[in-house]
Amino acid sequence: MTVDRIAASGEILGAIMALGLLALGLRNRSYIREITSDQDRIWRIIPRLAAATLIVLIGWASVFDNWRQLTGMPFRAIKQFPSERVQIDPPSATVRMITLILLAMTLVLFGALVARHVGGYFLQLTIVAGAFAAWLPCFVIRQRFSLNMALGFDGNWHSPADVGGYVAFDAITYLFDIGLIVICFIALLGLVALPVTLVLDLTGTRHPRITTEAKPFFSSIGTRASDIRQSMTTDAARVQNGDRPLQNMWGVHS
């Protein structure tokens, strides 16, 4: 396999996405730590399951499926004639079915996390609208870049200018590839998060449970405040009666 064929492969695209997710996770360690330390046990498990299914989905689609075909499914779906929806070298029906199952599992798990930690119905609708608006222009540009990448490298491998230009072209192509994948995922995530949020609301599991772990602490604060208020009231009454005020519980004369 030539260098340009390797550069256009799905495995390289998947590896770049995995590295991007790793960098994103390292940059947001505190937020991830907060989500994975939820007070409810099930909500500590869901983020780990979501991350695992996402990793499996990226690996499976990169090796066995085709990301560029997947992100082009909405465009082919609106075509009038079956001949316009033909895919070049598509995966088997079994591979595509496994991809869609993994995608559905990932969307449901991340939809639950969005409902609990990000926002509700209005925000999800806004996300869907924005993703749909961004899909078409990004898809059109990506298609042009993908066509040029499919034609391969037509320069001289011994020319630094040709090689540098091809590397820059590949970098821009991957940027639009990943951008379109993210847009499609966000659009589907917003759509899936809506019914997931409704189910969580109906079952009362969307918001964190109110626990009594901190009740003794706040009770002691309330008791201390009540004692201070009572001491101040007693001292004020003594002052009105001409008596010397007593020290309050902090050792300070009123």
Block means of pLDDT (10 residues each) for the chain, length 254 residues? 67 90 90 86 92 95 89 74 66 92 96 89 90 86 72 67 76 87 92 93 78 52 69 65 52 48
CB 162 within 8 A of CB 155: yes
In angstroms, rounded to a whole number, what is the distance separating the alpha carbons of residues 127 and 107?
14
**How many Cβ atoms are within 10 Å of 184's Cβ, its own excluded?**
23
> Which contiguous run of DSSP H or E holds residue 106?
helix 93-117
Name residue 253's beta-bridge partners: 247
Tokens representing 196 are: 């997931």
Domain extents in the chain: 3-203, 212-254
With a CB cutoff of 8 Å and minimum separation 6, the contacts of 105 are 53
In angstroms, rounded to a whole number, what is the distance separating the alpha carbons of residues 26 and 44?
19
pTM equals 0.74
Note the pLDDT of residue 85.
Answer: 64
Note the pLDDT of residue 210.
Answer: 53
